[in-house]
Amino acid sequence: MRILSGTRHLLILSTAIGVAACGHHGFKKEGATRDDFMQDLRQCTYEASRTQAWCNSSDGICVNDNDRAACMERKGWRITLESGRFLIPH
């Protein structure tokens, strides 16, 4: 059962990375509002932030997109290309 579970996690991660690469992915959660999305996104962005000397950001803080996506999924959001999704502001 562990192999299947690990394979499933790898498939989910691969899908998330593939969707993220296209640049138009978003998150969707039934019944959620934009305010719900922004609150969860802020919290997950904070949790996925790392201060790194090698970071290209002017403030030296980088966000690990995979960690942020995993946090959003733990909160019940799913990555999607469907209409009605909330996009991460850039």
Signed CA dihedral, 54, 58, 34, 20: sign only: negative
pLDDT digits (tens, 9 = 90+) for 17-73: 444 444 568 999 999 999 999 999 999 999 988 766 667 777 667 888 889 999 999
pTM listed for this prediction: 0.65
Q: List the domain boundaries for the chain.
A: 2-80
End-to-end CA distance of the chain: give it in Å, rounded.
40
| Strand, helix or coil for residue 8 | helix
Residues 68/44, Cβ–Cβ less than 8 Å: yes
